Amino acid sequence: NQRYDFREIEKKWRAEWEKNPINKEDDLKPKFYCLDMFPYPSGTGLHVGHWRGYVLSDVVSRYKVLQGYQVLHPMGWDAFGLPAENFAIKNNIHPSIATANNIANVKRQLHEISAIYDWDREVDTTDPNYYKWTQWIFVQMFKHGLAYEKEMPLNWCPSCKCVLANEEATNGTCERCGATVTKKNLRQWMLKITAYADRLLEDLKTLDWSDKVKKMQSDWIGKSYGAEVDFKVVGSDKKITVYTTRPDTLHGCTFMVLAPEYKDIPELTTPECKEAVEKYCFDASTKSSVDRMTNKEKTGVFTGAYCVNPVNGKEIPVWVADYVLADYGTGAVMCVPAHDERDFEFAKKFDLPIVQVILPEGEEEKELTEAYTGDGVIINSGDWNGMKAFEAKEKVPHIMEEKGLGKKTVNYKLRDWVFSRQRYWGEPIPIVHCEHCGAVAVPEDQLPVLLPQVESYKPTDTGESPLAHIDEWVNTTCPKCGGPAKRETNTMPQWAGSSWYFLRYVDNHNDKELASQEMLKKWAPVDLYVGGIEHAVLHLLYARFYTKFLYDIGAVPFEEPFQRLFNQGMITKNGSKMSKSLGNVVSPDDLVQNYGCDSLRMYELFVGPPEMDCDWDDSGIDGVFRFLNRVWKLVYNNKDLNVTASKDMEYLRNKLVYDITNRLEALTMNTVVSGFMEYTNKIIDLGKKEGGVDKQTLETLVVLLAPFAPHIAEELWKELGHAESVFDAGWPEVDESKLVQDTVEIALQVSGKFRDTMVVSVDADKDSVLAQAKEVLASRLEGKTIVKEIYVPGKIVNIIAK
């Protein structure tokens, strides 16, 4: 058959691979674990944006198979969580049914990609055999003191009727629905991720991740060095301790600000100020922390109290303002308006004194129009004057320690992880509350605690989960004393299941442990993890925390789950994210129907550098389709010619292998595709000149193409006379000696204008090149006088003629 009938071919090979997977487990081979961030099975299904990452990871997986690895490339479902529940409420379908439907649909769509997923290893976070282990991990954390209960004001989304982790409320709005986040006092389960702050920070160094993502994680952990300094309160035996990263500016501290939640405020406040302070503190309690930090206009009230600046004995006023957070540092700030932007604004607004203590090197002191936050020399600071600010930063904490006025400290921005949700569709937290014994873990042999069927899974306004209304489920007996007890009714956040799923794939049928040591050692950790950058902080930090904890209790044999991370960019349509609500979702179905899976796979990679966002334009796929047709014809027209390769063809073939391999290793997939197009054209042209293309060159092209366009490659491989799969062929090697070219193509110019090209031997001397060039250009030089002859070796001949 001379025609490239992609429909026929793709159907045929997909069926064949299903019977006979190309990726065989073989412990004599090295392993490669290539993982996609598993999808949330939404009702909308997959669009061309989803394909981008899945195609990339599949190309790498197939490439590794060709290189002789046994490859683990699994797929599964992150299926608990709010969207399924919201969908269920809206459409009146039970979340478990809606989820099953969605999984079936997305799975069907995934088959279209022809990725080499191992469906025997499928995991589903809502499957009791899976969440049994999600609960087991929680029980281990509880036993190790890392899961604890706490009553606290929390980010509350009034629309989702649910608490949010700090990570889910980063700009004062709900990450999911965009509603403004408020505060609510609730009893919550917390995970002590802060106990791992240092290791989470340190071990970033060992990972092959982009600097961008590493920085996002280290900023989120937010380790800073500073000092705690004590300020005596005037007329009282109380003191206020502040946390500062700028102890060098102590002499410039002209007032103090406390967070509205600071515990001593009632005792510090004078009777005249009481009413205003109480009102201010109440108002602040209704705002979210992000709202308070980013609030443009500074607000605050004076408490009537004063404290003493320990380095100069000056009495400074104590204020309350909501830009100071209760849960960072000590909840009290020594304010240095001259050198801190927030303090400067505050001082301007409330007319508080500003004293400059750092002078930029070589400048005169003059009135500040804004805070100066740079380096410089210390002034207005008694015997510290003349010191460099950065030196003082180091020294002052020691001085304060010696004088008993404070101490050196380390602080983290990272907070413990709020781990309970007041929603139905999640893993029940495996805890029983007993009047006598307190919170007791459900014994491991009684796991999983099954999520019961409920009639109404709608969330409530009270902060109670819908599970709280099922008396027969809630009322139970205490595993410790046998007395009456109640089940915990909160469920886990969606992140729970995704924090360890990569461990389960390696041994997903195990009913004794979350995965055996043997299988974990065989496959894990993940060698390449592909997914969107939106998970840079949340999921990736949680997964690292889980892995480290499981390592500490001996459940997994490594500390870091993901060795190399690749974040693909988003596919947009007319500049905006594809979404059902915008009506701009491009479905892959029609494109597969009209051009085939192979063309769409290659086009997904061709649209732009894979790490960058890219606007989608259907029309470009045509170029890729035509390219595959050219390859098809090239192989057909030449496969039976039996020509021998020329030196030039051998060069082309080796250069092709060299470039494609290097670009693939660097994951610059768009340049791989353009490289294929460029080299194919060159091979076609050279073949025309030489009366045909040799078989080895054709075979090499087909094997290299196989990870990208597997169906056409498999078909052409058969046409080239092979009985076994192209994926058994082995990845072609480069013969370095052939990369040295005998001839080069050089450009010919007349008076600087490009006129022609010619091919010369690389070691041809100047005279013979010029003579040959003048011959080629003879007609253009006729009747002219040659003024000058220029030869740039291997590149250009320029004949200047009048």
Find out whether 304 and 270 touch, Cβ atoms under 8 Å.
yes
Q: Which partner from the list ligand ANZ, Zn ion, none does 437 bind, CB cut-off 5 to 8 Å by kind?
A: Zn ion
- Got the DSSP string for 633-687? HHHHHHTTT-PPPPHHHHHHHHHHHHHHHHHHHTT-HHHHHHHHHHHHHHHHHHH
Q: Which of 1, 171, 224, 768 binds ligand ANZ (CB under 6 A)?
A: 224
Q: How far is the CB of 333 from ligand ANZ (least distance, A)?
A: 5
Q: Which of 164, 213, 324, 614 binds ligand ANZ (CB under 6 A)?
A: 324
Q: How far is the CB of 412 from ligand ANZ (least distance, A)?
A: 9
Q: Which partner from the list Zn ion, ligand ANZ, none does 46 bind, CB cut-off 5 to 8 Å by kind?
A: none
Kindly state whether residue 762 participates in binding Zn ion, applying the rule CB under 5 A.
no
- Which lies closer to Zn ion via its Cβ, residue 478 or residue 645? 478
Kindly state whether residue 245 participates in binding ligand ANZ, applying the rule CB under 6 A.
yes
Distances (CA, A) of 644 to 634, 650, 690: 16, 10, 10
Annotated binding site for ATP: 580
Q: How far is the CB of 420 from Zn ion (least distance, A)?
A: 21
Kindly state whether residue 292 participates in binding ligand ANZ, applying the rule CB under 6 A.
no
Whose tokens are 């029940």? That residue is: 428
From the number of C-beta atoms within 10 Å of its C-beta (0-12, 13-18, 19+), residue 698 rates as: buried
Q: Which of 96, 129, 241, 411 binds ligand ANZ (CB under 6 A)?
A: 411
DSSP 8-state secondary structure symbol assigned to residue 428: B
Q: How far is the CB of 184 from ligand ANZ (least distance, A)?
A: 21
Q: Which of 333, 631, 664, 773 binds ligand ANZ (CB under 6 A)?
A: 333
Kindly state whether residue 340 participates in binding ligand ANZ, applying the rule CB under 6 A.
yes
Find out whether 493 and 165 touch, Cβ atoms under 8 Å.
yes
- Which lies closer to Zn ion via its Cβ, residue 301 or residue 434? 434
Task: Report d(CA 590, CA 618) in Å as an integer.
Answer: 10
Q: How far is the CB of 329 from ligand ANZ (least distance, A)?
A: 3
Q: How far is the CB of 478 from Zn ion (least distance, A)?
A: 3
Task: Report d(CA 341, CA 350) in Å as an integer.
Answer: 14
Task: Report d(CA 451, CA 423) in Å as an integer.
Answer: 11
Q: How many CB atoms lie within 10 A of CB 621?
A: 21
The residues, ordered by sequence, that sit 6+ positions from 248 with a Cβ below 8 Å of its Cβ are 357, 358, 378, 384, 387, 389, 390, 392, 393, 396
Consecutive H or E run containing 541: helix 538-552
Q: Which of 111, 436, 647, 766 binds Zn ion (CB under 5 A)?
A: 436
Q: Which two tokens stand for residue 533?
A: 């950058």
Q: Which of 437, 519, 585, 781 binds Zn ion (CB under 5 A)?
A: 437
Q: How far is the CB of 171 from ligand ANZ (least distance, A)?
A: 17
Q: How far is the CB of 479 from Zn ion (least distance, A)?
A: 8
Kindly state whether residue 249 participates in binding ligand ANZ, applying the rule CB under 6 A.
yes
Annotated binding site: 580
Q: Which of 246, 298, 393, 535 binds ligand ANZ (CB under 6 A)?
A: 246
Q: How far is the CB of 491 from Zn ion (least distance, A)?
A: 23
Q: How far is the CB of 440 from Zn ion (least distance, A)?
A: 6
Which residue stretch of 31-39, 239-247, 414-422, 538-546 sits at the interface with ligand ANZ (rule: CB under 6 A)? 239-247
- Which lies closer to Zn ion via its Cβ, residue 201 or residue 441? 441
Q: How far is the CB of 656 from ligand ANZ (least distance, A)?
A: 52
3-state helix, strand and coil shares in percent for the chain, rounded to the nearest 5: 40, 20, 40
Find out whether 148 and 190 touch, Cβ atoms under 8 Å.
yes
- Which lies closer to ligand ANZ via its Cβ, residue 12 or residue 395? 395
Kindly state whether residue 336 participates in binding ligand ANZ, applying the rule CB under 6 A.
yes
- Which lies closer to Zn ion via its Cβ, residue 30 or residue 438? 438
| Buried b / exposed e along 206-233 (16+ C-beta atoms within 10 A) | ebebeeebbebbeebbebeebbbbbbbb
Q: Which partner from the list ligand ANZ, Zn ion, none does 475 bind, CB cut-off 5 to 8 Å by kind?
A: none
Kindly state whether residue 777 participates in binding ligand ANZ, applying the rule CB under 6 A.
no
Find out whether 95 and 425 touch, Cβ atoms under 8 Å.
yes
Q: φ, ψ for residue 128 (rounded to 5)?
A: -55, -30
Q: Which of 49, 317, 331, 397 binds ligand ANZ (CB under 6 A)?
A: 331
Q: How far is the CB of 345 from ligand ANZ (least distance, A)?
A: 13
Q: How far is the CB of 189 from ligand ANZ (least distance, A)?
A: 25
Q: Is residue 567 helix, strand or coil?
A: strand
Q: Which two tokens stand for residue 120?
A: 């025997």
Q: Which two tokens stand for residue 142?
A: 């509880």
Q: Which of 95, 329, 497, 692 binds ligand ANZ (CB under 6 A)?
A: 329
Q: φ, ψ for residue 563 (rounded to 5)?
A: -65, -55
Q: What angle do CA 627, 60, 43 make, to 5 degrees?
A: 85
Which residue stretch of 61-69, 282-290, 322-330, 694-702 sits at the interface with ligand ANZ (rule: CB under 6 A)? 322-330
Q: Which partner from the list Zn ion, ligand ANZ, none does 339 bind, CB cut-off 5 to 8 Å by kind?
A: ligand ANZ
Kindly state whether residue 294 participates in binding ligand ANZ, applying the rule CB under 6 A.
no
- Which lies closer to ligand ANZ via its Cβ, residue 392 or residue 702? 392
Q: Which of 46, 113, 434, 555 binds Zn ion (CB under 5 A)?
A: 434
Site string for ligand ANZ, 254-273 (x = CB under 6 A): -----x--------------
Find out whether 319 and 337 touch, Cβ atoms under 8 Å.
no
Q: How far is the CB of 461 from Zn ion (least distance, A)?
A: 31
| Buried b / exposed e along 472-484 (16+ C-beta atoms within 10 A) | ebbebebeeeeee
- Which lies closer to ligand ANZ via its Cβ, residue 243 or residue 542? 243
**Hey, which residues between 448 and 487 contact Zn ion (CB under 5 A)?**
478, 480-481, 483
33: which strand partners? 72
Q: Which two tokens stand for residue 791?
A: 């030869």
Q: Which partner from the list Zn ion, ligand ANZ, none does 243 bind, CB cut-off 5 to 8 Å by kind?
A: ligand ANZ
Closest by Cα among 761, 757, 765 to 796: 757
Consecutive H or E run containing 104: helix 95-111
> Measured in Å, how far apart are the chain's first and last C-alpha atoms?
58
Q: Which partner from the list ligand ANZ, Zn ion, none does 482 bind, CB cut-off 5 to 8 Å by kind?
A: none
Q: Which of 89, 216, 273, 325 binds ligand ANZ (CB under 6 A)?
A: 325
Q: Which amino acid is at 473?
A: W
Kindly state whether residue 227 participates in binding ligand ANZ, applying the rule CB under 6 A.
no
Secondary structure, 3-state, 158-188: CCCCEEECHHHCCCCECCCCCCECEEEEEEE
Which residue stretch of 31-39, 388-396, 432-440, 557-565 sits at the interface with Zn ion (rule: CB under 5 A)? 432-440
Q: How many CB atoms lie within 10 A of CB 767?
A: 10
Q: Which partner from the list Zn ion, ligand ANZ, none does 436 bind, CB cut-off 5 to 8 Å by kind?
A: Zn ion
Q: Which partner from the list ligand ANZ, Zn ion, none does 110 bind, CB cut-off 5 to 8 Å by kind?
A: none
Residues that bind ligand ANZ (CB under 6 A): 224, 243-246, 249, 259, 324-325, 328-329, 331, 333-334, 336, 339-340, 411
Binding residues for Zn ion (CB under 5 A): 434, 436-437, 478, 480-481, 483
